[in-house]
Copies of this chain bind each other. A is one copy, B any other.
Amino acid sequence: MAKKAYHHGNLREALLQSARETLAGEGIEALSLRTVAKRTGVSATALYSHFKDKQELLTMLATQGFDELAVEMEREQACAERGESTGGLIALARGYVQFATQNPALFQLMFGPAPGEVLAAPQLQKAGARAYGLLEADVARRMEELGIPDQTPVATAGAWALVHGLSSLLNDGRVTAEKLGLPDNAALTEQVCGLLDIG
Give min CB distance, A156 to chain B, whole Å. 9
**B-facing residues in A104-163 (Cβ within 8 Å):** 104, 108, 111, 113, 115-116, 118-119, 128, 153-155, 157-163
CB-based contact A158/B111 at 8 Å = no
Q: Is there a chain B Cβ closer than 8 Å to A56's Cβ?
A: no
Please give the count of copies of this chain that the complex contains. 2
Write the chain B residue with the least CB distance to A114: B29
A18 at the interface (CB under 8 A from B): no
Q: Which residue of B119, B162, B198 is within 8 Å of A165 (Cβ)?
A: B162
B residues near A179, Cβ cutoff 8 Å: 153
Q: How far is the CA of A169 from the CA of B157 in the complex (A)?
A: 9
Assess the B165–A163 pair: CB atoms within 8 A.
yes
A165 nearest in chain B by CB position? B165
C-beta contact mask, A169-197 vs B, less than 8 Å → 1, else 0? 10111110001111000001001100111
Given A153-B181, A155-B195, A191-B154, are A169 and B173 also a contact pair (CB < 8 Å)?
A: no
Q: A119-B173, A153-B180, A161-B165 are in contact. List 20 more A-B contacts (CB 8 A).
A: A29-B113, A111-B168, A111-B172, A115-B172, A119-B174, A128-B174, A153-B179, A157-B175, A157-B188, A158-B162, A158-B166, A158-B192, A161-B168, A161-B169, A161-B192, A162-B165, A195-B196, A195-B197, A195-B198, A197-B197
